[in-house]
Amino acid sequence: MSRRLIFESPQLDAVILSLRIAGPELRKQIYARSRAAIAPEWQSDLASATSGNPFAKRIIADGARANVTTRGVTLTAAKSSKRLSGGFLPLTNFAAVEFGATKKKISILGRRGSKTYRYTRVINQPFAARRRKGYYAYKTGDEYIFRYASLWISTVARTLRDAVEGKL
């Protein structure tokens, strides 16, 4: 799951233009420093958002990453392809945790030896009710996106200043 927002801002336009003009070695430095500044903030904000739900923390917050390119910053969560105990795969099954699931009663046909019987089960019970705008990652991204954008702008400006001054 990833979230990408595009804002019309002269500062963001200047950052993107300066990244396109900068050489490949300087760009690598900018990307590394930007990731180092934004990723811990994103991960800590997601960890605090999911603090009340350990299941959501394992699925959403533990797989949180920030990717920086010439086109911008992409915040991702639930990208882990490692199965949890019980077989839950965060990469493909995150939606039930992030957006909730509808509880359903289903009828199951069981059998014990030659005797068959029916019973009902409620599935999707451990998940919250459906919410279109999400519970954790989308809510946190919307709340802190301007902070991450300002972090990115200041990191790029600082790195370019250090490169001009010869500190890199």
The Cβ of residue 69 has, within 10 Å, a number of other Cβ atoms equal to 12
Banded pLDDT at 161 (limits 50, 70, 90)? very high
Q: Residues of the chain with pLDDT > 90: what percent?
A: 55
What is each CA distance from 31 to 15, 66, 105, 118, 142, in whole angstroms? 12, 10, 49, 58, 22
The Cβ of residue 9 has, within 10 Å, a number of other Cβ atoms equal to 13
Tokens describing residue 77: 């969560």
Strand 2-3's sheet: what is its strand order?
2-3, 72-76, 65-69
Full-model pTM: 0.81
The whole-number pLDDT of residue 46 equals 94
pLDDT tens-digit profile of 25-59?
Answer: 999 999 999 999 999 999 999 999 999 899 899 99
Contact 125, 112 (CB under 8 A): no
Beta bridge partners of residue 104, listed in sequence order:
123
- Rounded to the nearest 10 degrees, what angle do helices 24-49 and 137-165 cross at? 150
